[in-house]
Amino acid sequence: MTKVTMTVNGASVSGEAAGNTLLVEFLREELRLTGTHVGCDTSQCGACSVHVDGKLVKSCTMFAAEADGTDVITIEGEAAEDGTLSTVQQAFQDHHGLQCGFCTPGMVMAATALLKENPKPSEAEVRHYLEGNICRCTGYHNIVKSIMAASGQNVEPMAAE
Amino acid sequence: MPKDNGIGASLKRREDVRFLTGTGNYTDDISVHRQLYVHFLRSDVANGTINGIDTAAASAMSGVVRIFTGADFEGVGSIPCGWQVTDRHGEVMKEPAHPVLAQGKVRHVGDPIAAVVANSLEEARNAAEAIDLDIHELPAAVDMRKALEEGAPLVHDELGDNLCYDWGFVEENREAVDEAIKNAAHVTTLELVNNRLVANPMEPRVAVGDFNRATGDSTLYTTSQNPHVIRLLMGAFVLGIPEHKLRVVAPDVGGGFGTKIFHYAEEAFCTFAAKALNRPVKWTASRSEAFMSDAHGRDHVTKIELALDADNNFVALRTATLANMGAYLSTFAPSVPTWLHGTLMAGNYKTPLIYVNVKAVFTNTVPVDAYRGAGRPEATYQLERVVDKAARELGVDPVALRRQNFITEFPYATPVAVEYDTGDYNATMDTLETMIDRDGFAARRAASEAKGKLRGLGINCYIEACGIAPSNLVGQLGARAGLYESATVRVNATGGLVVMTGSHSHGQGHETVFPQVIAEMIGLDESMVEIVHGDTANSPMGMGTYGSRSLAVGGSAMVRATEKIINKTKKIAAHLMEAAEADIELKDGQFSVAGTDKSVAWGDVCLAAYVPHNYPLEDIEPGLEETAFYDPSNFTYPAGAYSCEVEVDPETGKVTIESFAAADDFGNVVNPMIVEGQVHGGLGQGIGQALLENCAYDENGQLLSASYMDYAMPRASDLPLFKVDHSNGTPCTHNPLGVKGCGEAGAIGSPPAVVNAVVDALQSAGKNVLHIDMPLTPARVWDAMNG
Ligand code: FES
Ligand code: FES
């Protein structure tokens, strides 16, 4: 066990982690930030996506010790202090971009990272960027729509009918 | 103007805020003080005799609290099956025991052999590796056809063979069907495979067992679509815990799609072990574990024959299916290929004579049970494929052939025992043809060809049965449970309502939709209504959510309970306004006396019920709380027309979905946004089945697709934007909301559309390809073109 210190959602936190403790385990078990989910054991689903030093990272692919000294943002850190949803979060609600909600934290973290890199992505770019995030509920239609809407683009033509 | 409240409004979901901010409460988010962790040691062979399990060294390892094996479950009940099918000879199905931990034999890769309970998951895993297993591997029964041959390896030695049942439906029609097929002007025959799938909700299964020694109460937190059903099955049949001493909680659940209906060994284990150890015990499936322990779906091998007369009218239909049960009978497994499949074989058509034969087969594979659509996708796929093939053989337009044979008068009693209450199949087909600009297809095909690609258009219909089901009917068919739903509506003194429902939401949005219905009935803002579900401690006995039944059955129970509330409040209002009860009207949350300007507000009447100072105490009790159980009188029958347009790259065989459209009749729609989302999700899974997904075993019973590395889940770039329409709703005639259910349609109607489209594309290049089995991977399509 070693002591690991990092900034999570703006607050400095520290805890004990074994050498093989994954960042996602540290977040969920040690810090009780259970918004970050685990959907697979082969780094394929993206349910565990967080931002580490501003980069999109699958937190099941990183040891907690590797994140020592970094700045981590999880889904719990996306809304404003007063609870106001971020633009991406709000767009997901407005356009029904989630059903069971299990993939959602990862989707929101991925979408937020995408829009930082590419503020006006095309539909194809959105779909391509989500290659590492699986959703079983939505058929992706409304996820894509939510992200396009969050980027300020007109999604009227993507209305379902 | 679209409504912003009540029935018909695309109200945004209130549950979204917690899911979007990471504050949902999924089962794995629950950690109970002093909890232990269990790791299951699972069989890595498909069939084998357990000669010995030596746990001595493992038990001595750090952190290990106790290791359980099958011997600890002697005298404990078997995991039960909830449906007994009677076969065509009048014999009941074979029903082998399904122990919580393997006893004597292992029967599929993933069968749990031992359970290591330790202080940490890591310690449990490490100790499991130190267990010394002596298993004698036996040849496995994997392929269904071979499993039925003389001398095949037996999954259950005591059964004598691997046939679970041989079901015929309608048995009395068999000879007439044979005769009609023999004499028909044309018979189209098709053999096909409905590929085995894994449901893969993104949240893996989790169970946390807890026991309170002071009260003797057990609690199970579990990822379930139906906590009351788990309480009943596990309490009464496995562990012998009376229902009042057992609480089952299914909190936020990350998708179900059928695979979280069933009662699983791990749930019983955690509940049992928590009591034995007097400590909470938690299990979280890894994804690899989910692949080898969640019930799988589909896996049918079918031969279907459609007979037509000289005028292309369908005259008879005969199908013979082998249905995989896997190694044990999962909760609803026997019903899926029989009553949920055979009864839908009429489809949207007037075929007068139908005979369905299903042989259910035990194999050394994971149990197979209901997956989104459960039986109806299998029925729709074979029927809509054979109709398409018939159209091609006869050289007629596939839509015209369908229209010619549509059922157009309702109610309609099919020859397979169900009665469709309403529908308008021409209307959904008309809408579909407009949505897809069918007339423009030739130009689109020419444009694809100019790029060196092939283009195909596939169109089909579907009908399904939802809102399962009339209890007396399913009882006759072998269900060992009733299939009603319940709701308790509690009105508080200040007029707010809480609905406790047996329906369970795991993505469907009940917390938003159910209040819309009540808001409409009383004329309140939907924010006045709260939904409570997912906990046997605070909701009445309910059967849960599957078969697109929540609104049709659970919603109906809620309507009935609310009607009782309204009746009572009208009595109170009549008393308060000194008027006759018959003259009281309720509108916009206001009671008034017809023909006068007297009125009293909803909130004042509710307050009077709890502060009954001026109240008809001699006639009615104080308080405002009512419960209703709703048992439907029929299934509901959503139906529609779907189309898929594909491009096929002739160089590689790769299929690209260019467009997909769905025109559905769901009856009345409460929240269009949510209905469309349900259709999108179903389409994603149906297209996934058609193009990508396949659960494969090798001939030794090794599971080849056991992770997302080798089981192809649909990704965002595999799917198109969907065009969906539900404007042709013909309201269901027998439930109070006129709703039919929309959760499974997309998965039912879409696979044949994709395959029809790909066959059409290949045919356009002069290839004599009449069928390709799903999934239509580039390799399979290329082989079909070049084979
Ligand atoms: S849990 Fe990290 S990618 Fe699936
Ligand atoms: S919303 Fe359920 S997995 Fe995406």
Q: Output the residue whose Cα is nearest ligand 2's atom 3.
A: A135
Inter-chain CB proximity B677 and A138 less than 8 Å: yes
Averaged pLDDT for residues B356-363: 98
- Residue A122, domain member (yes or no): yes
Ligand 1: distance of its center to the CA of B18 in Å?
21
Task: Summarize pLDDT for B703-733 with one digit per residue, the tens.
Answer: 999 999 999 999 999 999 999 999 999 999 9
pLDDT of res. B707: 96
Residues pairing with B305 in the sheet: B189, B318
Same domain, A92 and A126: yes
Task: Indicate whether B522 pLDDT > 70.
Answer: yes
Task: Summarize pLDDT for B296-351 with one digit per residue, the tens.
Answer: 999 999 999 999 999 999 999 999 999 999 999 999 999 999 999 999 999 999 99
pLDDT of res. B554: 94
End of a domain among A44, A75, A106?
A75
- Residue A15, domain member (yes or no): yes
Same domain, A64 and A113: no
**Percent of chain B at pLDDT above 70?**
100
Task: Label residue B616 exposed, middle or buried (CB < 10 Å: 0-12, 13-18, 19+).
Answer: middle
- Residue A156, domain member (yes or no): no
- Of B485, B613, B500, B603, the C-alpha closest to B552 is B485
Ligand 2: distance of its center to the CA of B254 in Å?
7
Structural domains counted in chain A: 2
Task: Summarize pLDDT for A99-115 with one digit per residue, the tens.
Answer: 999 999 999 999 999 99
End of a domain among A43, A75, A107?
A75
In the β-sheet with B112-118, what is the strand arrangement from edge to edge?
A: B64-69, B112-118, B36-42, B281-284, B206-212, B217-222, B246-249
Averaged pLDDT for residues B544-560: 93
Same domain, A13 and A70: yes
Distance CA B269, CA B281 (A): 9
Q: Output the residue whose Cα is nearest ligand 1's atom 3.
A: A43
Same domain, A52 and A6: yes
Distance CA B466, CA B501 (A): 19
Q: Which domains does chain B have, with CATH numbers?
A: 16-22+484-630 (3.30.365.10), 424-463+637-787 (3.30.365.10)
Burial B275-287 (b: 16+ CB within 10 A, else e): bebebbbbbbbeb
**Beta carbon of A108 within 6 Å of any ligand 2 atom:** no
- Residue A161, domain member (yes or no): no
Inter-chain CB proximity B24 and A36 less than 8 Å: no
Q: In this structure, what token pair is assigned to residue B72?
A: 């600890």
Same domain, A58 and A97: no
Instruction: Please report residues of B whose CB lies closer than 8 A to that of A93.
Output: 12-13, 16-17, 20
Ligand 1: distance of its center to the CA of A39 in Å?
5
What is the secondary structure of B377-410 as a DSSP string?
A: HHHHHHHHHHHHHHHHHHT--HHHHHHHHB--SS
Amino acid symbol at B336: V
The CATH number covering residue A142 comes to: 1.10.150.120
Same domain, A55 and A94: no
Distance CA B673, CA A94 (A): 10
- Helix, strand or coil, per DSSP, at residue B175: helix
Task: Indicate whether B180 pLDDT > 80.
Answer: yes
The CATH number covering residue A27 comes to: 3.10.20.30
Averaged pLDDT for residues B410-415: 97
Same domain, A13 and A65: yes
Nearest residue on chain B to A87, alpha-carbon basis: B20
The backbone torsions φ and ψ at residue B456, rounded to the nearest 5 degrees and listed phi first, read -135, 150
Asked whether the beta carbons of B736 and B758 are under 8 A apart, the reply is no
Distance CA A15, CA A7 (A): 12
Same domain, A61 and A21: yes
Q: Where are the beta strands (DSSP E) in B557-597?
A: 584-587, 590-593
- Residue A159, domain member (yes or no): no
Report if pTM > 0.90. yes
**A-B contacts (CB, under 8 Å):** 191
Distance CA B72, CA B268 (A): 13
Same domain, A39 and A17: yes
Burial B359-395 (b: 16+ CB within 10 A, else e): bbbbbbbbbbbbbbbbbbbbbbbbbbbbbbbbbbeee
Task: Indicate whether B3 pLDDT > 80.
Answer: no
Averaged pLDDT for residues A84-94: 98
- Residue A133, domain member (yes or no): yes
Q: Of all residues in chain B, what percent are helix, strand and coil, respectively (each to 5)?
A: 30, 25, 45
Other Cβ atoms closer than 10 A to A153: 16
Same domain, A69 and A129: no
Distance CA B252, CA B369 (A): 23
C-alpha distance from A6 to closest chain B C-alpha (Å):
20
The model's confidence at residue B110, banded by pLDDT at 50, 70 and 90, is very high
| CA-to-CA dists, residue B672 to A33, B117, B509, B530, B669, angstroms | 34, 47, 12, 20, 6
DSSP letter assigned to residue B703: B
The model's confidence at residue B5, banded by pLDDT at 50, 70 and 90, is confident
Ligand 2: distance of its center to the CA of A12 in Å?
31
Task: Indicate whether A120 pLDDT > 90.
Answer: yes
Peptide bond connecting B650 to the previous residue in cis, omega within 30 degrees of 0: no
Same domain, A99 and A64: no
Inter-chain CB proximity A101 and B721 less than 8 Å: no
CB neighbour list of residue B698: distance below 8 Å, 6 or more residues apart? B142, B704
- Residue A80, domain member (yes or no): no
Inter-chain CB proximity B506 and A33 less than 8 Å: no
- Residue A160, domain member (yes or no): no
Distance CA B782, CA B776 (A): 9
Distance CA B776, CA B234 (A): 40
Substitution target from B202, B431, B707 for chain A, most A beta carbons within 10 A: B202
Inter-chain CB proximity A136 and B201 less than 8 Å: yes
Averaged pLDDT for residues B128-134: 98
Inter-chain CB proximity B677 and A39 less than 8 Å: no
End of a domain among A54, A75, A96?
A75
Residues pairing with B639 in the sheet: B463, B665
pLDDT of res. A127: 98
Same domain, A60 and A102: no
Range of the domain at A32: 2-75
Please give the ipTM for the structure prediction.
0.98
Instruction: Please report residues of A whose CB lies closer than 8 A to that of B717.
Output: 124, 127-128, 130-131
pLDDT of res. B746: 98
Asked whether the beta carbons of B633 and B695 are under 8 A apart, the reply is no
